[in-house]
């Protein structure tokens, strides 16, 4: 049977791939955003800046602080890539989300498993690149190569996972070809391409993309459901009749577009402690805007706990870009088998 030998969780925000002197270019969008979510409330930029004045975030947005945060993220990303390389895995299951890159209002499944032969990265046209928000364009090469590229998938495992998950009462959607999203292509979402480029360093192994609907109500799965899905996922992987060594990787999070360190640290601490009740107790209204991507980690945590792996290393870097607390909190963690 297949063996789960590694778990990885990584943020994939553009600030990881953008020189820190350019982080403030994104602040223009923050300042006109009238729905900044923080601690269950919704604020304008000015309201949030006033609310968080007590936090003394001015020191977090200096040039020196931004550079230190960026450098620390590069170290953490390299550590994940090294853990992946050292585990010598044969197959990966990648948990991510879609932001209308492939799914549209026509149909948005809560959970979807891809079991086609490959996914593709399709370069953006000049017109599409011009639509990228200010400050985010710097990150584009970190997600996507210049040329159209095919990445190998593992349809046998994907099909097996679908059958096993259906048997475990998870009515997952399935596809063998990605739909065409708002950009007019079926290019693989950036949650996955980030892993291909920054963790696998473009040496992509056969894998199964699994999509979690973190962003789009009303069918976003709850934290409880995500954890249970992860446990069922581990059972499905481990029942696959293969000698493959498997990595389960989650891409996304942590809190953004407003950084909420109390939420992030509670989440990471509960994950390390394998305390599912603490994870479930986090109010659902904290998973809004980009922060919703934390839910990509919940099936990973459920799978790791079911498979008997433990979190052995992690880092947390809040990358602020304004005194209102906007930015992206970056989380990095990996799980390895418990040693006797």
Cβ contacts of 308 within 8 Å, gap of 6 or more? 337, 338
pLDDT at 314: 85
Which secondary structure element, helix H or strand E, spans residue 333, and what is its range? strand 326-337
- The CA distance from 219 to 20, in Å, is 36
Under a CB-based contact definition with an 8 Å cutoff, are residues 229 and 305 in contact? no
**Which tokens hold the place of 294?**
């934390």
| 3-state secondary structure (DSSP) of residue 284 | helix
Residue 156 to residue 147: CA distance in whole angstroms: 28
Give the model confidence (pLDDT) of 52-89 as tens digits.
999 999 999 999 999 999 999 999 999 999 999 999 99
Positions of the chain with pLDDT under 50: none
Please write the tens of the pLDDT for every residue from 179-197: 999 888 999 999 999 999 9
Nearest to 212 by CA among 194, 233, 239: 233
Helix/strand/coil for 27: helix
**DSSP letters spanning 184-232:** SS-PPPHHHHHIIIIISTT-PPSEEEEEE--SSTTSPPPHHHHHHHHHH
pTM over 0.95: yes
d(CA 45, CA 199): 34
Residue 171 dihedral angles phi and psi, to the nearest 5°: -85, 75
Burial status of residue 43 (CB atoms within 10 A of its CB: 0-12, 13-18, 19 or more): buried
pLDDT number for residue 199: 98
CA distance 30 to 24: 10
Q: Which domains does the chain have, with CATH numbers?
A: 3-337 (3.40.830.10)
User: How much is the pLDDT for 126?
Assistant: 86
Between CA 165 and CA 170, with CA 167 as vertex, the angle to 5 degrees is 45
Residues in Cβ contact with 299 at an 8 Å cutoff, skipping those fewer than 6 apart: 95, 210, 212, 226, 227, 229, 230, 233, 250
**C-beta separation of 264 from 208 below 8 A:** no
| DSSP SS3 for 86 | helix
Which pLDDT does position 333 carry in this prediction?
Answer: 98
pLDDT at 110: 97
95 CB neighbour count, 10 Å cutoff: 30
């Amino acid at each position: 049977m297949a063996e789960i030998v590694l778990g990885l969780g990584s943020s994939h925000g553009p600030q990881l791939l953008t020189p820190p002197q350019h982080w403030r270019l994104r602040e223009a969008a923050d300042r006109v955003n009238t729905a900044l979510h923080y601690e269950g409330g919704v604020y304008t930029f000015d309201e949030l800046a006033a609310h968080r004045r007590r936090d003394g975030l001015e020191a977090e947005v200096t040039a020196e602080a931004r550079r230190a945060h960026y450098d620390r993220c590069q170290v953490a990303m390299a550590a994940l890539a090294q853990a992946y390389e050292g585990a010598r895995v044969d197959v990966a299951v990648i948990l991510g989300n879609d932001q209308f890159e492939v799914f549209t209002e026509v149909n948005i499944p809560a959970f979807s498993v891809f079991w086609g032969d490959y996914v593709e990265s399709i370069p953006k046209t000049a017109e599409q690149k011009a639509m990228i928000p200010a400050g985010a364009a710097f990150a584009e090469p970190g997600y996507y190569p210049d040329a159209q590229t095919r990445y190998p998938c593992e349809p046998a495992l994907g099909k097996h996972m679908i059958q096993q998950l259906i048997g475990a009462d998870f009515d997952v959607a399935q596809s063998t070809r990605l739909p065409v999203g708002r950009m007019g292509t079926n290019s693989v979402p950036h949650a996955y391409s980030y892993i291909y480029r920054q963790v696998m360093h473009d040496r992509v192994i056969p894998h199964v993309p699994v999509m979690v609907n973190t962003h789009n109500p009303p069918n976003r799965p709850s934290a409880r459901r995500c954890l249970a899905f992860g446990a069922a996922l581990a059972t499905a992987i481990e029942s696959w009749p293969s000698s493959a060594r498997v990595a389960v990787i989650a891409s996304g999070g942590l809190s953004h577009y407003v950084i909420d360190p109390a939420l992030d640290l509670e989440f990471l601490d509960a994950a390390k402690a394998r305390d599912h009740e603490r994870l479930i107790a986090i109010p659902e209204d904290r998973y809004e805007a980009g922060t919703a991507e934390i839910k990509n980690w919940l099936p990973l945590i459920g799978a790791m706990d079911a498979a008997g792996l433990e979190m052995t290393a992690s880092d947390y870097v809040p990358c602020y870009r304004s005194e209102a607390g906007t930015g992206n909190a970056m989380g990095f963690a990996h799980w390895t088998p418990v040693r006797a």
